């Protein structure tokens, strides 16, 4: 009897949701669109600077003597350098303002005699860490020329051994956007959940349900389980889109990591957190307009703070500290632990505990505030 009632309640919620085409578009097409366009944006913004580390550089050799010419040749032929010519009539400020180059290197007269150093001008908006990388490269190449060393990079490389796996901290565009916007869309489940609850409460459907032998706990489960399952399905669908479809369109591969099975417990816990947020919004809102505003504003704020809108690894220190208050941060980092770091389940567990606590608090507060009738 109880199982049949629960099945019918779940069936009712799913049918109501399927009739709402706008909600289906919001829950499934929105994250696909965000994954596609934000991956393209990340590709354009970060590929040269972070992944391929190509440096757009203007080289001006005023000396034209042997050492200066050799330095110019070394800079131009380096695999990390993309040389660009100074456009006619453009000063340094205009070159940087129009994004023609990221830095300008000037080899002055007197360089061969050791009288004047090489000069570097940077784009004022260039990231500080990126400036350090360019300055280090220019220093290395200049030392090779001045001290007549054949290949300083090889000598230094023989003194250092990198033990970390490649690309363990910086995600590829797809590894950033697929879990990020899947999580973001999962939190939007609060909108249809809260609106559906308020609509049934206002039109008397809930009151009629209580005329039958249906307990409050069973009714609660009947309303929560369908949205929980939809959230799980959301993430699975986004993962399939990111793994099979997006690489064919964008050209980036999507690596699942060595422990793909850990996606199961992580997704189940993340779905509980997102469903808990939906229940909380449903309990706090008094009108459909309030529920939409609360859900959308809450999801966007959590996305901004949690490294969804802006990748966590490029955030300043203050923003990284603020990210800790967003459940989206903990969910996203749990997925990145799997995709990037091949983390053991014990390393992911603290993030799952935080998400479980968030879900528990949401359910507890909602249970104290909700008014069924």
The CATH number of residue 86's host domain is 3.40.1710.10
Concatenated DSSP letters of 131-200: HHHHHHHHHHHHHHHHTT-S-HHHHHHTT----SPTTSSS--HHHHHHHHHHHHHHHTTHHHHHHHHHHH
User: How many structural domains is the chain composed of?
Assistant: 2
Question: What is the average pLDDT value for the chain, to the nearest integer?
Answer: 80
Question: Would you place residue 373 in the very low, low, confident or very high pLDDT band (cuts 50, 70, 90)?
Answer: very low
What count of residues does the chain have? 373
Residue 330, pLDDT score? 95
Percent with pLDDT over 90 in the chain: 20
pLDDT at 198 over 80: no
Question: Would you place residue 268 in the very low, low, confident or very high pLDDT band (cuts 50, 70, 90)?
Answer: very high
Average pLDDT (221-248) is 87
For the CA atoms of 323, 326, 328, 329, the dihedral, rounded to the nearest 10 degrees, stands at: 30
What is the spatial distance between Cα 328 and Cα 333, in angstroms, rounded to a whole number?
Answer: 8
Same domain, 219 and 309: yes
Residue 55, pLDDT score? 77
Same domain, 60 and 76: yes
pLDDT at 301 over 90: yes
Q: Which domain holds residue 76?
A: 53-154
pLDDT at 49 over 50: no
Locate 265 and state its tokens: 């417990």
- DSSP assignment letter at 285: -
pLDDT at 75 over 90: no
Residues with Cβ within 8 Å of residue 247, at least 6 apart in sequence: 174, 253, 254
Percent with pLDDT over 70 in the chain: 79
Instruction: List % helix, strand, coil for the chain (3-state, nearest 5).
Output: 70, 5, 25
The model's pLDDT over 96-106, given as tens digits with 9 standing for 90+, comes to 877 788 888 99
Q: In this predicted model, which residue has the larger pLDDT, 339 or 370?
A: 339
Residues β-bridged to residue 104: 58, 121
Same domain, 226 and 331: yes
Same domain, 260 and 287: yes
Residue 48, pLDDT score? 47
Residues with Cβ within 8 Å of residue 137, at least 6 apart in sequence: 55, 78, 80, 81
Average pLDDT (169-184) is 82
Q: In this predicted model, which residue has the larger pLDDT, 127 or 224?
A: 224
Same domain, 327 and 209: yes
Same domain, 146 and 225: no
């Amino acid at each position: 009897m109880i199982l049949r009632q629960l099945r019918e309640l779940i069936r009712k919620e799913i049918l109501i949701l399927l009739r709402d085409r706008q909600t289906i578009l919001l829950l499934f097409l929105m994250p696909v669109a965000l994954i596609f366009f934000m991956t393209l944006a990340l590709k354009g913004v970060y590929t040269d600077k972070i992944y391929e580390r190509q440096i757009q550089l203007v080289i001006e050799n005023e000396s034209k003597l042997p050492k200066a010419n050799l330095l110019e040749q070394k800079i131009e032929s380096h695999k990390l350098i993309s040389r660009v010519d100074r456009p006619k009539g453009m000063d340094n400020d205009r070159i940087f303002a129009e994004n023609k180059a990221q830095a300008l290197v000037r080899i002055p007269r007197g360089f061969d005699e050791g009288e004047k150093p090489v000069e570097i001008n940077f784009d004022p908006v260039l990231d500080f860490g990126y400036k350090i990388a360019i300055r280090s490269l220019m220093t290395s190449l200049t030392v090779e020329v001045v001290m007549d060393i054949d290949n300083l990079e090889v000598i230094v490389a023989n003194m250092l051994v990198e033990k970390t796996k490649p690309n363990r901290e910086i995600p590829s565009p797809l590894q950033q956007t697929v879990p990020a916007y899947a999580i973001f869309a999962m939190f939007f489940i609060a909108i249809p959940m809260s609106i559906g609850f308020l609509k049934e409460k206002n039109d008397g459907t809930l009151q009629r349900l209580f005329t039958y032998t249906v307990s409050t706990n069973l009714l609660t489960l009947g309303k929560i389980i369908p949205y929980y399952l939809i959230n799980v399905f959301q993430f699975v669908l986004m993962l399939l889109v990111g793994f099979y479809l997006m690489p064919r369109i964008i050209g980036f591969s999507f690596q699942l990591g060595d422990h793909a099975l850990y996606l199961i417990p992580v997704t189940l816990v993340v779905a509980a957190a997102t469903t808990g947020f939906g229940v909380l919004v449903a309990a706090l809102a008094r009108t459909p307009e309030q529920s939409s505003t609360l859900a959308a504003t809450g999801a966007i704020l959590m996305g901004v703070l949690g490294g969804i809108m802006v990748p966590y690894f490029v955030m300043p220190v203050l923003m990284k500290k603020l990210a800790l208050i967003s459940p989206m941060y903990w969910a996203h980092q749990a997925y990145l632990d799997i995709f990037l770091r091949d983390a053991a389940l014990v390393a992911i567990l603290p993030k799952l505990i935080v998400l479980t606590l968030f879900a528990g608090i949401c359910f507890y507060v909602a249970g104290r505030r909700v008014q069924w009738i």
